[in-house]
A and B are shown apart, each in its own frame.
Chain A
Amino acid sequence: MSVGPRIIIWFDEGPLKGVFITETVIWAIVVSVAIIIFALISTRNLKKQPKGAQGVAELIVEYVYNFVRDTMGKDKLSFAPFIGTIFLYLLIANALGLLGIRAVTADVNMTFALGCLIFLIIQYNSIRSKGMLGYLKHFTKPYPFMVPINILEEVTFPISLSFRIFGNILAGVIIVELAFEGLSFLSEEVIHLPVPLLQAILPLPLNAFFDIFEPILQAFVFSMLTMSFIAKAITSHDDH
């Protein structure tokens, strides 16, 4: 059993020699395109009385805006579209196991890219709100000798954020795959069925936990931690 994502396309020659494209990349693009298409369809000919796709989109937007307002405060509502996109993307990317597809976030490259993106956003907003001098100064708070610890805190945050979602989802993928392999072994070698019938219903609780509950929880935790760190970066230390 191998835990890595399958390699779909492999370039043997040419300028791209040695580059390979895994299923993670392909499904990540599919999920993003699906979200974009849904956003385009649901916002076409908007009506006063929401119906169908527009109603779903309004529900999502309202939920996200409330979520951001409750966590970050009213003055930082401009982050709501970004947080909503991250939340929606992670929700679908984590739950791909429901369709029998390897979850996109079970690849550390994917989650680490997200972590880097959020690191850059936090640093950019920190510099923008404090100014360059204030940004450099906030590393020396509360005491000057704590500079290395403060820098370490800033750097390890995206790493732990990306490893958290990666580890959780990968553990789910491994456990579900182990259960499926065990059930197929049982039905073929022990009960001697021509088809792995035991795989049909028995793993449902596992799927419900690892492909429905855990994705929601992890997407929630990821966006929540992102929000609280962005809010912390914007609020200067002099305020409290």
Chain B
Amino acid sequence: MQGITPEAFVLGLSALGAGIAMIAGFGIGLGQGIATGKAVESIARQPEAKGDIMSTMFIGLAMAETSVIFSLVVAIILLFANPLVAQV
């Protein structure tokens, strides 16, 4: 490899890694969509239970969100506070 400094190489690969980490958003989008759809179905079937369904759904969405939040933190660390560049 000519013309590429080690820092630039590590930074570029880190940016790629941040992008790959956010692929986790695919799964969470699918999951939250299904959960919200089911919640809407049950509200339509039983409108008087709307409050309970909504709060349970929010808890479930927040729980499901955890994985993608972790990958977001990984991506943010790779982009803004990269620990790998210092080791080059």
Contacts and interface: CB of A to CB of B under 8 A. Distances in A.
Interface residues of A, number: 19
A221 B73 contact: no
B69 A163 contact: yes
A228 B62 CA distance: 13
A220 B58 contact: yes
A206 interface: no
Contacts of B55: 71, 224
Interface residues of B, number: 14
A214 B76 CA distance: 19
A171 B62 contact: no
Nearest to A1: B80
A224 B66 CA distance: 15
Given A171-B72, A224-B55, A164 B80 contact: no
A3 interface: yes
A142 to B, nearest CB: 21
Q: Chain B contact residues: over half helix, strand or loop, or mixed?
A: helix
B58 A164 contact: no
A167 interface: yes
B32 to A, nearest CB: 13
Given A2-B80, A3-B80, A160-B66, A167 B59 contact: no
Contacts of A163: 66, 69-70, 73
A167 B69 contact: yes
Given A163-B69, A163-B70, A171-B72, A217 B80 contact: no
27 contacts: A2-B80, A3-B76, A3-B80, A4-B80, A4-B81, A160-B66, A160-B69, A163-B66, A163-B69, A163-B70, A163-B73, A164-B65, A166-B69, A166-B73, A167-B70, A167-B72, A167-B73, A168-B69, A174-B76, A220-B58, A221-B58, A221-B59, A221-B62, A224-B62, A225-B59, A225-B62, A228-B59
Interface of A: 2-4, 71, 160, 163-164, 166-168, 170-171, 174, 217, 220-221, 224-225, 228
Interface of B: 55, 58-59, 62-63, 65-66, 69-70, 72-73, 76, 80-81
